[in-house]
Amino acid sequence: MVVRAAVAGASGYAGGELLRLLLAHPGVEVGALTGNSNAGQRLGALQPHLLPLADRVLEPTTAEVLAGHDVVFLALPHGQSAAVAEQLGDATLVVDMGADFRLKDAGEWEKFYGSPHAGTWPYGLPELPGARDALKGSKRIAVPGCYPTAVSLALVPAYVHGLAENDAVIVAATGTSGAGKALKPHLLGSEVMGSMSPYGVGGGHRHTPEMIQNLSAAAGEKVTVSFTPTLAPMARGILATCNVKAKPGVSAESVRAAYEKAYADEPFVHVLPEGQWPATASVYGSNAVQIQVAYDESAQRIVVISAIDNLTKGTAGGAVQSMNIALGLDETTGLSTIGVAP
Amino acid sequence: MVVRAAVAGASGYAGGELLRLLLAHPGVEVGALTGNSNAGQRLGALQPHLLPLADRVLEPTTAEVLAGHDVVFLALPHGQSAAVAEQLGDATLVVDMGADFRLKDAGEWEKFYGSPHAGTWPYGLPELPGARDALKGSKRIAVPGCYPTAVSLALVPAYVHGLAENDAVIVAATGTSGAGKALKPHLLGSEVMGSMSPYGVGGGHRHTPEMIQNLSAAAGEKVTVSFTPTLAPMARGILATCNVKAKPGVSAESVRAAYEKAYADEPFVHVLPEGQWPATASVYGSNAVQIQVAYDESAQRIVVISAIDNLTKGTAGGAVQSMNIALGLDETTGLSTIGVAP
Amino acid sequence: MVVRAAVAGASGYAGGELLRLLLAHPGVEVGALTGNSNAGQRLGALQPHLLPLADRVLEPTTAEVLAGHDVVFLALPHGQSAAVAEQLGDATLVVDMGADFRLKDAGEWEKFYGSPHAGTWPYGLPELPGARDALKGSKRIAVPGCYPTAVSLALVPAYVHGLAENDAVIVAATGTSGAGKALKPHLLGSEVMGSMSPYGVGGGHRHTPEMIQNLSAAAGEKVTVSFTPTLAPMARGILATCNVKAKPGVSAESVRAAYEKAYADEPFVHVLPEGQWPATASVYGSNAVQIQVAYDESAQRIVVISAIDNLTKGTAGGAVQSMNIALGLDETTGLSTIGVAP
Amino acid sequence: MVVRAAVAGASGYAGGELLRLLLAHPGVEVGALTGNSNAGQRLGALQPHLLPLADRVLEPTTAEVLAGHDVVFLALPHGQSAAVAEQLGDATLVVDMGADFRLKDAGEWEKFYGSPHAGTWPYGLPELPGARDALKGSKRIAVPGCYPTAVSLALVPAYVHGLAENDAVIVAATGTSGAGKALKPHLLGSEVMGSMSPYGVGGGHRHTPEMIQNLSAAAGEKVTVSFTPTLAPMARGILATCNVKAKPGVSAESVRAAYEKAYADEPFVHVLPEGQWPATASVYGSNAVQIQVAYDESAQRIVVISAIDNLTKGTAGGAVQSMNIALGLDETTGLSTIGVAP
């Protein structure tokens, strides 16, 4: 069986990465590609690395263009997915790579995104407790944010196993592709190269409520999160440093054992051997997640560090993984755990 | 049919890239992995991006370890391949990723490499005239150097079609992985980031005689080459700027026509549409070659620019492509023309 | 008055940066330059950016060579400064850019450095309470570590003003020059570019007790610190993200007011206007410190972020600033608050 | 004597670098700062590295604002300088950092810039034969382009000394700041990092006629130039590789001797010792020029490589150096030959 997939928003970084993966997926045929401001342009001019699609021309993002596909991926600005999805009907698998259907709490959605809440779809982070079951056979998938992917995979085991106190402190570094292709002065190469800088400090980043939702579900209580994202001089990758107070009785051994057990059967999440630390280069272009844990005895804190590729596991790879589950395919089809390094 | 392949020199950058490609190759099973100073170590500690092989342990590079494989890839320091190949016998396909069997002229070999000439094997740049035929069924392959790959693909059509005068001027920028994993001060990140610098200026780079060999074969006369390599602040990629005086009567149109015709049927070499220029990022991790030509009317010179990934098409991808031909497989098996970008 | 200064360890990154600053210092004349493994070499081959000193030759690091200078800077591996300082006598101003005389607690020293404690010298972070007075006229200066500089300047006001609970969580990104010129595989450009990775996680980094010493002095009680350093793909710069629970009653306004007051008269520390965030590029090559504060109301946490150049304010600039004070010069002589950007 | 200097176009990279240098210049006081789209904004928001000027507010670029200064620097889009200069009168020293007054040939100007020729001012590359005399006491200065600075310093001695045939081939790599702060997709950090790409290939770059003008003056005949610029993943720096056929009788020794003699008394141009190659990192933020020569005996070609900082010696430093000469100051005042490295 080969499914036919359309991609709305094919000119951006998320759309481009998705196409890179779909072209390598044996069960998918790439159908319509749409853009808005770029409709009418050759994909070769916009995504010069996607040579097999260089002569494809972007169509406008309309329901007519997207109709007639088995799967439609939406890589649209937030607030636009609901209208498109409605027109596509229930027989089409719609995978939203934007934020619209991630949050359950309408109030949090409105506070952080400033628009009406569109609803909640099955959440495309299969490694979370219960997530795979919700994805199986689903016709709607909300792909997680890149930071929540890195952070939830790092901290959920600590909360599920009762190792961590509430009150998580998270600092993450992202490559610039996480900010998309928008033409903003601070994203110019001249500004970015050789520089680290924070943004959205103090609780303002939109991915914060999504992290809180995932960690709270794992903990069984509302978890407080203080999240600081930083922009690093690299194109891809997220390195998330997650720091939580340990509950009494926790030891380095019990932390390691919990994580090794949590991810023993996961195809994409690798708890590294002791002494080896995650590096974003190691997961470059791959769907793999590298995780390492440390117990800071002096501070009685657990430090969990995860590395992902923000565009692959953090966006497009996560989308394909969840699509595989929804369609009943092997979850790893078309996805690699091998990074492109050095 | 699945062939079993051993890799000698699995801890370096060329060996690591080869393993990345072999793991994705449907007709290859990865056999023995060897290293010298690193024998006994887990591959996961040396190549942390190759997760599926993390628990494999490097063996010493001996004929015993390498024996019994259908294919043996040698990623060894120059001068070491001949002895190993001899012990492996004629039934094994031996692919030398080093320089030992590239040059036909023993004098040039000795001048540039300072050791006795080991011989010449079929040359693994299938896009060169006659190269595919020599590779078919061969049990020995000499993989080209990374610079000669980029430069020969850029200039051979100009010489084959009689467009260019002798006396080529070439300036190429390479990513640091081209220099390997050797611990040298000028390769430290602190030195490399934010800096461009040349090396081997004035005719001294060992890849120069190999370029001359290829271009001279195309031109039917000895071609003079002045080659300047430069080190760029990036991990991967070669951008080769090749500049030759045009023969009388040459026009922008005739140059373009010659190149489009030369590569019309090549699966990996793409002559870009007018107005679009090669970028190493577009071929990152892929076996594709991007080429663009310009005719500088004022200087009556042809400028050909090519971009490759030095580790993929420039080394390991070229090796796999040639192995495919030698084994009678489809030439593109296991190889991608899609770059990992941005 | 012009003082004559010798630099022991002139071939490393700290020594090179110090020389860059001393050459621009109107009150200093550069005297002897020493190295150990590099003795006998031209400085031009080792520090090609220091053109005015290109023809100077490194001498061996001995008391004879260093004697007869007004100031001697020591940029030596830890454990070597005490013996040299002793031989130089009390009339010479000795500025130790290593760790040997930073820690007051001999037990902590031995635990983290594994060698006998050499003592404690006046601490060269003039912005700390009481530090300037201790430096005035002193003949011995212990230059702080680069991370403790960034972190202490970020958090001391919060503790001095009673804004923060104990239990600080700190994540800092450093440029690769912080790791020095040592030839280690993970410091190669090919490994570093495009990658973020942590190291010394879980309390093991040697700068941790130094941070605790400074923060505890400010708080009036032993402060717990969980510190995670990360290596960023840039040559210079530290971005420190410091996160502490706010004491009851703290507000965004009270935090900002405390920091603006704390640094109102400091020539090098700039609390940025609201809405602007520190960036390491902005302090590249300068002695300036950029600081911004945020109050995360939802998590009731204070987030303080500081950016410094690890080689300038974090090492050599801090050394010159403290030397100025010790010698009775204007503290800012020869130092700039202007970054080299973009 | 302290002159008062205004800067028109203070929000761009050239203007920012100029301010960095002027702030360190003992004979200059910074007066009015203007911008167009940015008028009314704090400089601190636009140039966060210029801390001493953070609270200055940009004024509109008008003759009224710029009047009453001893020196006015124009960092404006091409075609705008003539009108401003005319209004400032002959008593004001006007330094044009744009292209408007560089070319003598009105036809070439119109061909490359597409607007009417404004005239020619004394050319601010003091190292060229006769240039210093023309600058002394001048009230108008045309600052050279960054590429022509690097290329002319590299090749003029070869032509002055009759070492080189006509027909120069030049390939140069530039940092992204050379392209300015314009918001263009290919200048985004995500696109630039990890990538080398050419632009303006085939004779189209606007700096080509300026190079031809300088080299032809040195050669005493019209020199043909084929120039290929490439964009490198770094913020600053130009590495120019210049390749010319040697005239009969030329040797490695005669080339070296000519260059050493040509620049023996130049304060900013350094011909490196044999065996050492220029690196842009070594001149980062400095006004120095590193030059090295090689004689490619096999190809009978001279290869000259120069490294400059495109913003310093290539733009703002060159402007200050020429201003110093015009004002009768020591040529090196306020300028450094020390790079900020690593």
Domains of chain B, residue spans: 3-144+314-327, 147-308
Q: Residue A148: which pLDDT band, with cuts at 50, 70 and 90?
A: very high
- pLDDT, tens only, A266-306: 999 999 999 999 999 999 999 999 999 999 999 999 999 99
Please report the pLDDT score of residue A36 as a whole number. Answer: 86
End-to-end alpha carbon distance in chain C = 36
Please report the pLDDT score of residue C339 as a whole number. Answer: 98
Interface contact A177, partner D, CB < 8 A? yes
Interface contact A292, partner C, CB < 8 A? yes
C-beta separation of D97 from D315 below 8 A: yes
Closest Cα in chain D to B166: D299
CB contact (8 A) between residue B189 and residue C181:
no
Q: In terms of CATH architecture, what is B3-144+314-327?
A: 3-Layer(aba) Sandwich (3.40)
Among C313, C330, C333, which Cα is nearest to C124's? Answer: C313
Contacts of C280 in chain B (CB under 8 A): none
Please report the pLDDT score of residue D70 as a whole number. Answer: 98
Sheet with C93-96: list strands edge to edge: C59-60, C28-35, C3-8, C71-74, C93-96, C140-142
Please report the pLDDT score of residue A229 as a whole number. Answer: 98
C-beta separation of D101 from D213 below 8 A: no
Please say if the pLDDT value at position D1 is more than 90. no
Q: Rounded to the nearest 10 degrees, what angle do helices D146-160 and D252-262 cross at?
A: 120
Alpha carbon distance B167, D296 (integer Å): 12
Residue B102 corresponds to which amino acid? R
User: CB neighbours (10 Å) of residue D76?
Assistant: 22
C-beta separation of A294 from A130 below 8 A: no
Closest Cα in chain C to A177: C194
Among C331, C157, C339, C160, which Cα is nearest to C260's? Answer: C157
**Residues of chain B predicted below pLDDT 70:** none
Active site amino acids of C: 146
**Residues of chain C predicted below pLDDT 50:** none
B/e letters for C12-40, b = 16+ CB within 10 Å, e = fewer, are bbbbbbbbbbbbbbebbebbbbbbeebbe
- pLDDT, tens only, B211-226: 999 999 999 999 999 9
Alpha carbon distance C90, B164 (integer Å): 74
C-beta separation of A50 from B338 below 8 A: yes
CB contact (8 A) between residue B187 and residue C190:
yes
Clarify whether A242 is annotated catalytic: no
Interface test with D, best of B147, B184, B191, B241 (most D CBs within 10 A): B241
In the stretch 157-176 of chain A, residues with CB closer than 8 A to chain D read: 175-176
Please say if the pLDDT value at position D232 is more than 90. yes
C63 CA: distance to closest CA in chain A (Å)? 39
Interface contact C190, partner B, CB < 8 A? yes
A294 CA: distance to closest CA in chain D (Å)? 32
B222 CA: distance to closest CA in chain A (Å)? 35
Please report the pLDDT score of residue D336 as a whole number. Answer: 97
Among A48, D342, A207, A292, which Cα is nearest to C192's? Answer: D342
Please report the pLDDT score of residue B1 as a whole number. Answer: 78
Interface test with C, best of B17, B188, B280 (most C CBs within 10 A): B188
Closest Cα in chain D to B278: D197
- pLDDT, tens only, D82-125: 999 999 999 999 999 999 999 999 999 999 999 999 999 999 99
Q: Which residue from A196, A234, A298 is facing C239, i.e. has the nearest CB?
A: A196
User: CB neighbours (10 Å) of residue A261?
Assistant: 12
Among C178, C204, C166, which Cα is nearest to A297's? Answer: C204
Q: Kindly report each contact of residues D120-124 with a partner whose C-beta sits within 8 Å and lies 24 or more positions away, as own/partner.
A: D121/D96, D124/D95, D124/D318, D124/D319, D124/D321, D124/D322
Which tokens sit at D289? Answer: 């020029």
Interface test with A, best of C226, C251, C306 (most A CBs within 10 A): C226
Active site amino acids of B: 146
Interface contact C263, partner D, CB < 8 A? no
Beta strands per DSSP E along chain A: 3-8, 28-35, 59-60, 71-74, 93-96, 140-142, 168-174, 197-198, 225-231, 238-245, 269-271, 289-296, 301-308
CB contact (8 A) between residue B195 and residue D234:
yes
Alpha carbon distance D252, D262 (integer Å): 16
End-to-end alpha carbon distance in chain D = 36
Alpha carbon distance D278, B138 (integer Å): 44
Alpha carbon distance B274, D246 (integer Å): 34
C-beta separation of D295 from D302 below 8 A: yes
Q: Give Cα A91 to chain centroid, integer Å.
A: 25
Residue A113 corresponds to which amino acid? Y
What's the topology of domain C147-308?
Dihydrodipicolinate Reductase; domain 2 (3.30.360)
C-beta separation of C7 from C15 below 8 A: yes
Please say if the pLDDT value at position A213 is more than 90. yes
Please say if the pLDDT value at position A117 is more than 90. yes
Widest CA span in chain A: 62
Beta strands per DSSP E along chain C: 3-8, 28-35, 59-60, 71-74, 93-96, 140-142, 168-174, 197-198, 225-231, 238-245, 269-271, 289-296, 301-308
- Its ipTM equals 0.97
Contacts of C279 in chain A (CB under 8 A): 191, 195-197
**DSSP β-ladder status, D71-74 and D3-8:** parallel
End-to-end alpha carbon distance in chain A = 36
Dihedral (CA of D155, D159, D163, D165) sign = positive
User: CB neighbours (10 Å) of residue A20?
Assistant: 26
Contacts of D279 in chain C (CB under 8 A): 48
Beta bridge partners of D228: D171
Contacts of D263 in chain C (CB under 8 A): none
CA dist B184 to A2, B11, C16, C185, C187, Å?
50, 17, 19, 10, 11
- pLDDT, tens only, D123-173: 999 999 999 999 999 999 999 999 999 999 999 999 999 999 999 999 999
Sequence-distant (≥ 6) Cβ neighbours of residue B295 within 8 angstroms:
B246, B250, B251, B252, B255, B301, B302, B303, D202
A136 CA: distance to closest CA in chain C (Å)? 35
- pLDDT, tens only, D192-201: 999 999 999 9
Alpha carbon distance A116, A103 (integer Å): 12
DSSP annotation of B39 reads: T
Alpha carbon distance C221, C25 (integer Å): 39
Residue D126 corresponds to which amino acid? P
CB contact (8 A) between residue B338 and residue A50:
yes
Beta strands per DSSP E along C49-181: 59-60, 71-74, 93-96, 140-142, 168-174
Dihedral (CA of B54, B55, B61, B64) sign = negative
Interface contact B185, partner C, CB < 8 A? yes
